[in-house]
């Protein structure tokens, strides 16, 4: 039996990160967490590019364009959608998740979903570096492993 798994070594990896500006006070913390994990695992800062988009709904469009550029070994998407009084939350969170998942399945590189979908602003803050860890960091760690595994399997 042969077992394959990714390694946490980002040496020579080129990473793109798409971040929503809406809820920037949360998303900037997710971004900091992601960059921290990437650089601590040997991804050079000059090999990390960050793309800011207006909101979470715009993430799939730019993510698709970046995948098509073939400049990166993997991508991270970061954003925050917080439930409000209308159905807007359901529409945005579902479409962003579907869009990013579709791109990931059609792409030859890993595309990681780091968009928080929370019931409250407090839950979002907790997931951006307080009680519940930093989901940006979690997604970055996953990306390094997925890029490594993808390279082992062969593009």
Q: Does residue 2 lie within any of the structural domains?
A: no
Q: What is the predicted pLDDT for the residue at 130?
A: 77
pTM assigned to the model = 0.96
Question: Annotated binding residue at 58?
Answer: yes
- Residue among 51, 45, 40, 50 nearest 9 (CA): 40
Q: Does residue 54 lie within any of the structural domains?
A: yes
Q: Does residue 47 lie within any of the structural domains?
A: yes
Which CATH number does the domain housing residue 125 bear? 3.40.50.960
84-94 pLDDT, tens per residue?
988 999 999 99
Higher pLDDT among residues 139 and 2, named by residue: 139
Average pLDDT, whole number, for the chain? 97
38-77 pLDDT, tens per residue?
999 999 999 999 999 999 999 999 999 999 999 999 999 9
Q: Does residue 69 lie within any of the structural domains?
A: yes
For residue 130, give its domain range. Answer: 39-146
Residue with tokens 């601590």: 40
Q: Does residue 11 lie within any of the structural domains?
A: no
Q: Does residue 15 lie within any of the structural domains?
A: no
Q: Does residue 25 lie within any of the structural domains?
A: no
Structural domain count of the chain: 1
Q: What is the predicted pLDDT for the residue at 155?
A: 53
User: Which residue in 11, 88, 98, 152 is the catalytic one?
Assistant: 88
Question: Annotated binding residue at 21?
Answer: no
102 catalytic? Reply is no
Q: Does residue 130 lie within any of the structural domains?
A: yes
CA distance 87 to 46: 40
On whether the CB atoms of residues 21 and 56 are closer than 8 A, the answer is no
DSSP codes joined into one string, the chain: -------S--TT--EEEEEESTTHHHHHHHHHHHHHHHHHTT--GGGEEEEEESSGGGHHHHHHHHHHHT--SEEEEEEEEE--SSTHHHHHHHHHHHHHHHHHHHSSS-EEEEEEEESSHHHHHHTBTSTT-BHHHHHHHHHHHHHHHHHHH--
CA distance 155 to 152: 9
Question: Annotated binding residue at 4?
Answer: no
């Amino acid at each position: 039996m042969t077992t394959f798994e990714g390694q946490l070594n980002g040496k020579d990896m080129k990473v793109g990160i798409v971040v929503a500006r809406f809820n920037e006070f949360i998303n900037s913390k997710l971004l900091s967490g992601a960059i921290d994990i990437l650089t601590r695992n040997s991804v050079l800062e000059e090999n990390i590019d960050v793309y800011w988009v207006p909101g979470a709904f715009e993430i799939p469009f730019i993510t698709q364009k970046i995948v098509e550029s073939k400049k990166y070994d993997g991508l991270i998407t970061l954003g925050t959608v917080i439930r409000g009084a209308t159905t807007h939350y359901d529409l945005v969170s579902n479409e962003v998740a579907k869009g990013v998942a579709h791109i990931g399945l059609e792409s030859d590189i890993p595309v990681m979903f780091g968009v928080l979908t929370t019931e409250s602003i407090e839950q979002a803050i907790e997931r951006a570096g307080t009680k519940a860890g930093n989901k940006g960091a979690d997604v970055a760690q996953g990306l390094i492993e997925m890029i490594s595994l993808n390279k082992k399997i062969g593009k």
